[in-house]
Chain A
Amino acid sequence: MAIADDEFRRLIATHQRMVFSIALRITSDYATAEEVAQDVFLELHRTGERLAGDDHVKYWLRRVATHRAIDAIRRTAVRPEAGAEEWMEEQFVDDAGVTSAAIQARLDELLRTLPEPMRVVVVLRYQEEMLPDEIARLLGQSLASVKSHLHHGLKLLRRKAAVTMKEYIRESA
């Protein structure tokens, strides 16, 4: 049975930023992200009466948004830029000066760098501030797998962000 309109409107207002941001950071495309986000809420509208409490709704929305966003990027077969592996081999990266402003300026580009499994885990960890075991439960993966994706994804981001910072400083000057 569908959720009542007033309640549905309230749920959209409460959770739209989260749902849309998960979709956007995983798909890296605004139009696809909006489509995914709408589909998630429509599914909530159809089935949501069975969810008890805001925490349950929030967990459900995160899970469905993540899986639908993953499906969307697999459908479009978007692949991260080639050569990501060579970034993993550097031993030292000077990212001491990397700021959130620099990261934010190139965030879409940085995330697009990551292969899908790493990107999903990074988004859930740093945007949703979920713990690795929570991420593992949501994705249906092992904790070891999640930690591995997190470790490698973060390493790749750090290297890319260090390069980005130099460009950011140059552009900001």
Chain B
Amino acid sequence: MNQPEELLTKFEQELTQAMRAVDPPAGFAERTMARAQAQEQPRARVLHMPSRGRFWMNGGAIAAMVLAGAFFGEQTHVRHERERAELAQRQFETAISITDQTLEQVHLQLQQEGVRGPK
């Protein structure tokens, strides 16, 4: 059965000719060289926070700032309250002092006028 074998061989020849190697896309060599050089670069020794850690760090920083703000805000409020109390105390003491002085003066005046105090 030579004819089928000849046909097969001829087909194989045609197939071989059709399947010659083709060029890769333009710039293939340059892109490959660039990747090779990139993979040779040593990783920079910097402290890289993983993105999730960075997120948590930022969240923690925000929380700390909020707490600090709340704390200092509270402290300011307390200071204001204390100052108001101190002011009120001074005003009270001043008022008492004025009252004491006034009463003393009234008492002296009465004594001078001979008015006996209650027994």
Report A's interface with B, CB cutoff 8 A. 2, 5, 8-9, 12-13, 16-18, 20-21, 24-25, 30, 33-34, 37-38, 41-42, 45-46, 95-96, 98-101, 103-104, 107, 122-123, 126-127, 129, 154, 157-158, 161
Contact = CB atoms under 8 A, between A and B. Distances in A.
B28 to A, nearest CB: 6
A5 B37 contact: yes
B44 interface: no
Nearest to A93: B7
A154 B12 contact: yes
A31 B29 CA distance: 15
Contact of A127 (B13, B21, B31, B40): B21
Report the interface size class on chain B: 20 to 34
Nearest to A31: B25
Contacts of A21: 21-22
A5 B19 contact: no
Contact of A126 (B7, B16, B37): B16
B14 A99 contact: yes
Nearest to B40: A2
A92 B39 CA distance: 54
B32 A42 contact: yes
B36 A18 contact: no
Contact of B18 (A18, A30, A34, A104): A104
Contacts of A154: 8, 11-12, 15
Contacts of A127: 16, 19-21
